[in-house]
Amino acid sequence: MSLIYGRSIGRSWPRVGSIHPAFSSSRYPGFLRPCHHLDFQLRGLAAPAHRGYAESKLDLPSLDKKWRKTWDSIRDSTTRSEAGARLEGARNGWSDAQIGPGSTTDAEKKYILPMFPYPSGTLHLGHLRVYTIADVVARYHVLNGREVLLPMGWDAFGLPAENAAIERGINPATWTKTNISKMKEQLDVMNGSWDWSRELATCDPAFYKHTQSIFLRLHENGLAYQDEAEVNYDPIDKTVLANEQVDANGCSWRSGAKVEKRKLKQWFLRISKYRDSLLQDLGILAKDGAWPERVLAMQKNWLGKSVGASIKFPVLAFNQDVHVAIEVFTSRPDTLFGVQYLALASTHPIVTKLAKKDPGLQAFLDTLPGLPPDSKVGYLLPHIRAVNPLAYHEETPEATKKSLPVYVAPYVLGDYGEGAVMGVPGHDIRDHAFWKTHHYDEPVRLVLAASEDESTTALPNEPFVEHGVLTKQSGFYEGKSSQEAGQMLVSLLEPADLAKPVEKWRLRDWLISRQRYWGTPIPIIHCESCGAVPVPEEELPVALPDVEAHWAGGKNGNPLETLTEWVETTCPKCGGHAKRDTDTMDTFVDSSWYFMRFVDPHNSEVPFSPETAKSLLPVDIYIGGIEHAILHLLYARFIYKFLMASSTTQEYGVSNEIYEPFKRLVSQGMVHGKTYSDPSTGRFLKPDEVDLSDPSNPKVVATGEPTLVSFEKMSKSKYNGVDPTGFISQYGADATRAHMLFQAPVSEILDWDGGKVIGVTRWLGRVYDLVVKTQDTPVSTEFPTPKTYFEHTSKKLDSLGPEELARWDADSAIWRDVQKTILSVSASYDKVYTLNTIVSDLMSLTNTIIANDGASTFIQREALSALVRMAAPITPAFAEECWSILQPDAHSIFFCQQPLSALFPVIDGSLSLLQSRKQRCAIQVNGRLRFVVEIPQPPALEGDELRDWLIDEIKKTDEGKTKMSPTTDGSPASIDVASAKKIVVVKAGKLVNFVI
């Protein structure tokens, strides 16, 4: 079979006349699978008519439109195979029928997923960054012959849509659907290749039917339950508020009403049952850097496993009916001698009881919702003191035997430990700050030191927080280590029931109830006789009712609570009168399993089939921001473990197998915008208040003063937002994508500077010019691959003339750089975090091709072919255009062909043949560089022989003749070699230093 030589770097492919492009269900060519059963041709669709490219100008926005239209034509002309490839809709990667059970392909599968967006209606640069990264990585794997799934959907429920509905008087469903439509259009212009045939929205009843089904499975297994929980309640809006929605005065951020603390019956998911596996399996995610260390640390801290002791402090109560003792959990029993006070959470039973009789305490509690969690305010409980349990031991120092004040403090968490802490100012930072606030003139007791001589690493007036050795303040335990003393103290108090070793977790069960309309209804019916009864599966979904009048009237609160015809129903169990649950689920429930739905999105019976899940899950690469490092990822891990154990064993519960939803997690940095501010006031300036006639020297329009320029998180108040669609329309999607990646490593903050995109557009222009220049050059038929050319020519180098040797040097230089670039670029695509280096590597390769214009057209063409394919994942439309010039009879670069072969270049093993005949030699005089020349590679010489050979070769060069030989009029050379006291040869002749 004859070959086309333009893409034979390690691979060959048949001439276009024998190619049968094979498609799976894809609208965009980036997400194709190597197909065996589809056999059809797309003559004339992807290949544009031949024209005079030399006269054309590179217009990147026009290329975007042209190739998106071409890709759509390919989609529209594809034919469904008997295997049932679903070619419905946009940019699909895998067909449901061909992938999963019964699939006949052996190609490696890759599931690549960016975190799905909330449909706010506006695509910002943060979206553009994460979705560019995802699309680039997916396209790279497609070009390497893998079957890739890159779906897209919408995290469509939530509070913003409901607030927008109230403000605008429209249904949140209408607002959400409109926004989805807008954002789909915006996503399309970035040349992404999303699998729109798998599109989902969490507000679609077809989706939340299965969310409700998962809830019922959890409920069936005792993992969903109701209990009372304290919440922030807005009595005007009649809704529950998050802590962040309560201002410093304890008022609602929206209505201004004084927030009330209420105990409501809420739904919880028992994530605590999975806490051990959630913690232990972090070790698996840590292997080979699969998950960022920072994310793993945040997850571990949130789970918060602590091994310590529960210690009882007897209470001295004067005319107060309270507990006999206050129980405290501590992970540092070794500091027990240093306790100087106790602090209780606002929800502690003692506090709740005393507040009923103490108006001052109740007034203090009313202020807490508006205080920051690290506030140092406190309320000293009158008539109550506590006693250190060590006080009953006769050898305990007198200071430890003193009774302890008891405070109510906001920094104590009611849901951790026992809702009480022992205050040890000498050895805890928060306790130290609290003590100094309330007892600034009283000494801090230090009971630990870094060493036995009681020298401490603590700074003056700072606590010593490390483990160490107990001091004389610890009485008869002086000199014991922290670990030994802690165990001994617990053992001492345990027989008296004053202490016991315990294990505590920070993790609490997941509260999912929301007193809101726009969310997944909880599928529970409450019957006075039967209690909480699950809605039968066949009656799902429990759909949100139409409440147009509620939105039109701008009413607040949850309309479900007052919609009698929806609430009133019959009990599925006894047939008696009952009521629907009017709470909806936290949106984190939707996002905890949406990635599983993508693998089987059209299954109406179950969330996904076990067979499909086993075939396509887990997600190979999950891409999203660090802000989701804790809750979303933790909840997704929990639900995945539950559901995958279910699909494996057909029983719902904890499995012995290890299930993790995301093999690899990539966390991209934020995008900051260029921000201008007035130097005299610090006020952020609007665009029309900045004079940018000289972009390098922006000025305040009103005063003419230079502005302050910084990069800040984008926000409306800072006037530093950038509309990515406007930028794309001006510079093209490919230049925007390349610029986005080029500016910073994936994990770091990206300081967006749109003005620098010119560097990328110029590079693309140079590549385009090179490609156009080669279009009319004849294709070599003498050598099938560059490697065979170099193997053949290297054997006769000694017989080549000067012109042929110069061509060999240029060919070798280009192809050597091609091989090295393939290695570095492939590694960067695989690592993901170093995508920024790909653009710089390709720019460098472009410069090498330009610098060696004496190279053969064969090697130039092959090098450009490799460059275009390496750039294709980042600049898909531009690569398609260049490919159509290099291969005018070929089809889209992204569509697989038969026989199966990948398009991404691989090294061909020719590097050993490409050793340069010359090397650079730097000439120094007394350690200072004078000039650099190219000389032949030195022969196998050493010592004086090598030195003399190098001097002779340097003198043969033009610059050597000028500077190291006497002039024609007899004047001495500028570098008199003969007068050198010493000549030093470094690195086999790469540097020669003359000491004169």
What is d(CA 724, CA 189) in angstroms, rounded to the nearest whole number?
10
DSSP H/E element including 240: strand 239-241
CA angle 230, 235, 241 (to 5 degrees): 50
What is d(CA 279, CA 259) in angstroms, rounded to the nearest whole number?
36
What is d(CA 473, CA 338) in angstroms, rounded to the nearest whole number?
8
The edge-to-edge listing of strands for the beta sheet with 524-527 is 531-534, 524-527, 577-580, 568-570
pLDDT of 230: 79
Q: Write phi, then psi, for 571 (nearest 5 degrees).
A: -75, 125
pLDDT of 76: 66
pLDDT of 281: 96
With contact defined as beta carbons under 8 Å apart, do 23 and 74 qualify?
yes
* CA 473 from centroid of its chain's CA atoms: 49
Percent of the chain with pLDDT over 90: 58
* All structural domains of the chain with their residue ranges: 109-214+589-668, 215-270+509-588, 306-504, 672-752, 755-896+905-913, 918-995
Q: DSSP for 692-726?
A: -SSTTS-EETTT-PBPEEEEEE--GGGT----HHH
Number of other residues whose CB lies within 10 A of the CB of residue 327: 16
Q: Give the β-pairing of 982-986 and 991-995.
A: antiparallel
The 3-state DSSP class for residue 193 equals coil
Distances in Å between the Cα of 516 and the Cα atoms of 249, 593, 857 are 24, 21, 68
What is d(CA 78, CA 41) in angstroms, rounded to the nearest whole number?
9
**Cβ within 8 Å of residue 301, ≥6 positions away:** 506
Specify the CATH number of the domain 306-504: 3.90.740.10
Sign of CA dihedral 33, 36, 42, 46: positive
What architecture is domain 755-896+905-913?
A: Orthogonal Bundle (1.10)
Q: DSSP for 403-458?
A: -EEEEE-TTS-TTSTTSEEEE-TTT-HHHHHHHHHH-TTSPPPP-EESSTT---SS
pLDDT of 245: 64
How many residues can be counted in the chain?
996
What is d(CA 477, CA 498) in angstroms, rounded to the nearest whole number?
18
825: which 2 tokens? 């670029």
658: which 2 tokens? 């290890």
**Cβ within 8 Å of residue 662, ≥6 positions away:** 291, 618, 619, 621, 622, 633, 636
Fold classified for 918-995: Ubiquitin-like (UB roll) (3.10.20)
pLDDT of 760: 96
* CA 798 from centroid of its chain's CA atoms: 55
What is d(CA 485, CA 813) in angstroms, rounded to the nearest whole number?
70
Helix 876-886 vs helix 733-742: crossing angle, to nearest 10: 120
992: which 2 tokens? 């020669």
Nearest to 586 by CA among 638, 523, 524, 515: 515
Number of other residues whose CB lies within 10 A of the CB of residue 52: 9
| E strand map for 597-669 | 619-625, 662-668
Distances in Å between the Cα of 769 and the Cα atoms of 738, 764, 849, 850, 864 are 18, 9, 12, 10, 11
300: which 2 tokens? 């571990």
Helix 802-831 vs helix 857-871: crossing angle, to nearest 10: 10
Residue that the structure tokens 């139409």 belong to: 546
With contact defined as beta carbons under 8 Å apart, do 910 and 815 qualify?
yes
The 3-state DSSP class for residue 198 equals strand
- Mean predicted lDDT score pLDDT of the chain: 85
What architecture is domain 109-214+589-668?
A: 3-Layer(aba) Sandwich (3.40)
Distances in Å between the Cα of 493 and the Cα atoms of 310, 313, 387, 468, 868 are 10, 11, 14, 22, 74
Q: DSSP for 708-772?
A: EEEEEE--GGGT----HHHHHHHH-HHHHHHHHHHTS-TTS-EEE-GGGHHHHHHHHHHHHHHHH
DSSP H/E element including 533: strand 531-534
74: which 2 tokens? 């390919």
Distances in Å between the Cα of 333 and the Cα atoms of 342, 386, 488, 492, 497 are 14, 17, 9, 12, 15
483: which 2 tokens? 């670990």
| E strand map for 558-661 | 568-570, 577-580, 584-585, 619-625
What is d(CA 645, CA 538) in angstroms, rounded to the nearest whole number?
24
Nearest to 761 by CA among 787, 728, 723, 712: 728
What is d(CA 514, CA 525) in angstroms, rounded to the nearest whole number?
16
pLDDT of 414: 81
What is d(CA 507, CA 268) in angstroms, rounded to the nearest whole number?
13
Sign of CA dihedral 802, 806, 809, 815: negative
What is d(CA 494, CA 113) in angstroms, rounded to the nearest whole number?
53
- Same topology, domains 306-504 and 918-995? Answer is no
Nearest to 863 by CA among 881, 851, 876, 873: 851
What is d(CA 201, CA 952) in angstroms, rounded to the nearest whole number?
76
pLDDT < 70 positions in the chain: 1-56, 75-106, 242-245, 248, 254, 321, 373, 454-460, 647-656, 780, 895-902, 968-970
**Cβ within 8 Å of residue 69, ≥6 positions away:** none
Number of other residues whose CB lies within 10 A of the CB of residue 232: 19
**Cβ within 8 Å of residue 275, ≥6 positions away:** 303, 305, 505, 507
DSSP H/E element including 482: helix 482-493
With contact defined as beta carbons under 8 Å apart, do 404 and 313 qualify?
yes
**Cβ within 8 Å of residue 182, ≥6 positions away:** 121, 122
What is d(CA 51, CA 66) in angstroms, rounded to the nearest whole number?
15
The 3-state DSSP class for residue 944 equals helix
What is d(CA 171, CA 791) in angstroms, rounded to the nearest whole number?
71
Burial class (CB in 10 A: 0-12, 13-18, 19+), 286: middle
The 3-state DSSP class for residue 65 equals helix
